[in-house]
Structure 1
Amino acid sequence: MGLKEKIKSNEKLKKLVLWMLMPKNQARPRLWVKWFVNPLKHKKGRGSLVRRRTRMDVMPFNQFVLGKDSTIEDFATVNNGVGDVIIGERTRIGIGNVLIGPVTIGDDVMFAQNVVLSGLNHGYEDVNVPPSLQKVETKPIIVEDEVWIGANAVVTAGVTIGKHSIVAAGCVVVKDVPPYSIVGGNPGRLLKQYNHETKTWERVKK
């Protein structure tokens, strides 16, 4: 059994390690973790940039990867506390975005302002316990290459957005999006798909 598994299997040891890594009731790492551990653990590609006003709630026990020539803009929040956050190359995470893992984002992706992706859901089944104290559930979000997501869109846990698809501004994506598609609305619905034979974007009949 490895060290990580030993810590996970011992509740007292797990609590101690978590207290050492982050303050109680906080999602962000302690300064010593941010300054001395994360730079050794996490991977940032050549030419990548995390703006100064970005909130990086990244912990060493899960992955954070930022591919080369990618940017995370100001006022964004990135949290890998319950799942990896992996961002590809030449991708831009826009102003005020929120990424809560597990999230995997491909290459050449554009996120506009205030986009939210959360692979995390809180339990609520037990009405005698506040949702904040119930067990969390995670389902990976996957955003494939060349996707463009408009401002104020929300992508929910477990969703895959296919290659070269577009998510309209304000859309709430609750199910998978096929490649080469345009979705919009709340809940998101398929509006157009690219026809490779005619080389045109065609409206989807209702």
Structure 2
Amino acid sequence: MNIESLYAPVSIGETSVVGAHCTLGYPKEARISAEQKLPGSPLVGSRVVVGERCQLANQVVLYEGVKVGDDCVLEDRVRIGYDSTVGAGTRIVYGAFVCDRVTIGANAVVAGFVCDGTRIGDRSTVMGELLHEYTRPHQDWWEVDEEPPVIEADTVVAFGARVVGGVRIGPRSYVAAGAIVTKDVPPEHIVTGVNEHTPADQWTGRRLQGLIAHWRTTAPGKA
């Protein structure tokens, strides 16, 4: 169904459910600022699209231009910034704060904080924080456009982990809870501590052996 909201046109799949006190199509800050200087101009933003069989729980906020694929679940208090894309079958949980222009693949699970422009691959899980370096705080907030992290497919960023700056992780890597990453992580590596990388085939910990075995059988080119 199509809805003319206060802020932007909204398309919601007929089989999707929207909970209480949700805001869909809220305008990005730059457009509000520009139109505040032009009294009387219509405050209508880019269309929000929510696919079929989605569940948007309570107090979800989708900014203008957001596109959510089919079969997604957005739990209570999730925020997704403008021009972001969420792939089919993805679950956004625990009140995640997803910033602007973020791309999330299909069948992913995302919580925590995700900075502007981040890319998260298919089937990845991100429970930690994906952050810019923020090395130029003396410049205007909108002048600086730092490189964001890239999380490749089938990668896990566990609770309390922090990925800082324009680094690339995976595919098929695991950033352990509480780890800090400021350097690229090759495919099929385990990260602990501060930038401590261990190839998966050398990992002796018992708890990840099932996941590592799964990587071995499902990675491209492996039987």
Which structure 1 residue ranges, 5 or more long, are not aligned? 1-14, 23-31, 125-129, 202-206
Tell me, yes or no, if structure 1 residue 104 matches structure 2 residue 111: no
* Larger proportion of helix: 1
List runs of 5+ in structure 2 lacking aligned partners: 1-28, 37-42, 50-64, 203-211, 216-223
Please state whether the residue corresponding to 2:76 is helix, strand or coil.
coil
Q: Note the C-alpha offset of 1:180.
A: 0.5
**Residues 167 and 16 (structure 1), Cα distance of their counterparts in 2 relative to 1, 3 Å cut:** closer
- Are residues 133 and 16 of structure 1, via their aligned partners in 2, closer, same or farther at CA, if it must alter by over 3 Å? closer
From 102, 106, 113, the counterpart of 1:89: 106
CA distance in 1, matches of 2:136, 2:130: 18
| Mean Cα deviation higher: 132-141 or 177-186 | 132-141
Q: How does 1:1-206 map to 2 (within 5 A)?
A: 17-19=31-33, 37-40=46-49, 41-56=65-80, 58-59=81-82, 63-80=83-100, 84-94=101-111, 97-112=112-127, 115-119=128-132, 121-124=134-137, 130=138, 135-186=143-194, 188-194=195-201
Q: What's the % identity of the aligned pairs?
A: 26
TM-score computed with the length of structure 1 as normaliser: 0.65
Contact 2:115 2:148 survives alignment (8 Å): no
8 Å Cα contact 1:118-1:141 kept in structure 2: yes
Structure 1 residues 38 and 156: CA distance shift in structure 2, 3 A: farther
> Measured at CA, do residues 21 and 123 of structure 1 come closer, stay the same or move farther in structure 2, by a change above 3 Å?
farther
TM-score (norm. length: structure 2):
0.61
Contact map agreement 1:102 1:119 (CA 8 A) in 2: no
- Tell me which amino acid in the other structure corresponds to 1:52: D
Would you say the 8 A contact 1:122–1:136 is kept in 2? no
Query: Residue 133 of structure 1: CA displacement?
Result: 5.5
Aligned residue for 1:177, secondary structure, equals coil
CA distance in 1, matches of 2:200, 2:99: 33
